[in-house]
Structure 1
């Protein structure tokens, strides 16, 4: 990841039963995400720099909104899966203050640039700047 892919976030909660689980907050919006290799010095309530990507296990399920639909993050179940609604800008999906990078959005779906899209993801990953 490039340094400018990182944004300032607040760590709301660090998972106790699943140590890779983090609840991250941006602009009052919370997101449950997965951190495969978090730095040891992270503490609840602290601010840090983080970058977000997502994991899709099967095919990309994207729909385009014809009207200006508000962005949203809808958690599906108790895991890390979400339905994200946001604006696609230069390969980055922007929703509720979070910016998600994804190579397929940059290449295969570049023709949707500037559109509001909805996408189902199996997991949201967070990478903390060390």
Structure 2
């Protein structure tokens, strides 16, 4: 699923780390694929995916929550809260489709939360 991302900054110490803005949400990502030259301040079509070291644990939000947000944790980790649609798209202020969510079809149509180790971004 293509999204429009604006480059905010590059990490001088970690070559593949980048900060982008998507729909007024800033997030730190690691570049997975980038066959083009990218520049700060410019916008590009991108795809996002989750990177999880151990195992992904997706669970339903508490009944009274129904929150859509990304919360940055330590070391580029994120807590994602959002609506998981019936076609497996997670809305966290913008839509993300990741094949890891296919194992959680029993939560389709629900507000969910999950932690990921990092967000991967692919350009082009």
Q: Is the structural similarity TM-score above 0.5?
A: yes
Q: How far apart in 2 are the matches of 1:27 and 1:105?
A: 22
Unaligned regions of 5+ residues in structure 1, if any? none
What is the correspondence of 1:35-54 to structure 2 with a 5 Å cutoff?
35-54=31-50
Match of 2:28 in 1: 32
Runs of 4+ displaced beyond 3 Å: none
Partner of 1:109, secondary structure, is helix
1:118 maps to 113
Aligned to 2:69: 72
Deviation at 1:71, TM superposition (A): 1.0
How many positions carry a matched residue from both structures?
122
Scaled by the length of structure 1, the TM-score of the pair is: 0.85
Query: How well do the aligned residues superpose, as a CA RMSD in angstroms?
Result: 1.5
Deviation at 1:16, TM superposition (A): 1.2
2:106 partner SS: helix
Can you give the 5+ residue segments of structure 2 that lack an aligned partner in the other structure? none
Q: Quick one: distance in 2 between partners of 1:81 and 1:14?
A: 17
| TM-score after normalising by structure 2 | 0.89
Is residue 59 of structure 1 aligned with residue 50 of structure 2?
no
